[in-house]
Structure 1
Amino acid sequence: MNKCERVFTYFDKNGDGKLTPSELHCCIGPIAGELSLEAVQLVVAPLLSGEDGVLGLDEFECLMESVSEQEKMEDLKKTFRMYEMEGVECITPRSLERMLSKMGESRSVDECVKMINQFDLNGDGMLSFNEFKIMMLS
């Protein structure tokens, strides 16, 4: 039994192999704070393959993958903002040089230009978030 199956089984209070929005709400409510049952239903609705309004294991796995992807994107955005120090929504050679220096890795601005050029898809000499994302996920 994989991790997702164990979580699914734990959430499936009545053991019927399906999660109702109510079962899901009871389990994630303490984690998600003030998340209402209606909010849970809205999140779950696009994943439902049947008319019964409940999640099977496959649909639950899709939900967990979606949550994991959202967390990954939030982490990438936070990391990007650490490098973006000049008020522009891009990483410049100088901002990269400063951040690397703070991390104890001394690089010249020219070296940072070369690093950025490897992933600078539009040729503007800076990394946008999308270019940064491609770099980090490749």
Structure 2
Amino acid sequence: MVASSTSELRTLFSSLDKDGDGRISAAELQVCMRATLGEHVPAEEAEALVASVDADGDGLLCEAEFLKLALYCDAEEEEERTRGLREAFAMYEMEGEGCITPASLGRMLGRLGNERGVGECRAMICRFDLDGDGVLSFDEFKIMMSA
């Protein structure tokens, strides 16, 4: 349920609340997830999501509960993305130093069939080396991967 702001989520909630009663059902949540994620979510899963944040137990989501669910889903998505990036980082890091060096980048690129010299690898790293230490930390790698 990725949205860039709380106001966008409130607008989305209002558009789903067809009868204007300030609540949306699991079925309406399914429509939302199909629209925002592009995938069908089974009714049982939508009901479980509603139940996970339904503070008053009415089986419906008020705006506050909807926002809580959206933030939870965004946090889970970010955690999954970070886990994938850590796996990719580990492939390039290879030396157990907690950073990607020009040599380790060159070795990995070579394994992928994209041979590069150390100088080229150093230049590639330099573009995202924010602290100027000549290597990429995980945080710098995350920035590079989102560029």
TM-score by length of 2: 0.62
* Helix, strand or coil at the partner of 1:120: coil
Matched residue, 1:12: 47
Residue 99 in structure 1 maps to residue 108 in structure 2: yes
RMSD between superposed Cα atoms in Å? 2.6
Distance 2:113 2:125 in 1: 19
| Identity, % of aligned positions | 43
2:81 to 69, 72, 77: 72
Which letter maps to 1:12? E
Q: Is the 8 A contact 1:8 1:60 kept in 2?
A: no
Once residues 106 and 20 of structure 1 are traced to their aligned partners in structure 2, the CA distance between those partners, rounded to angstroms, is 52
Aligned partners of 1:8 and 1:118: how far apart in 2?
A: 44
The count of residues paired between Structure 1 and Structure 2 equals: 107
Q: How does 1:1-138 map to 2 (within 5 A)?
A: 1-3=31-33, 7=41, 10=44, 11-12=46-47, 19-21=50-52, 52=56, 56-138=65-147
1:137/1:131 Cα in 2 relative to 1: closer, same or farther (>3 Å)?
same
Unaligned 5+ segments in structure 2 are: 1-30
Structure 1 unaligned residues grouped into runs of 5+: 22-43
Contact 1:8/1:57 (<8 A) preserved: no
Counterpart CA distance in 1 for 2:81 and 2:104 is 23
**Rounded Cα–Cα distance in structure 1 between residues aligned with 2:50 and 2:76:** 17
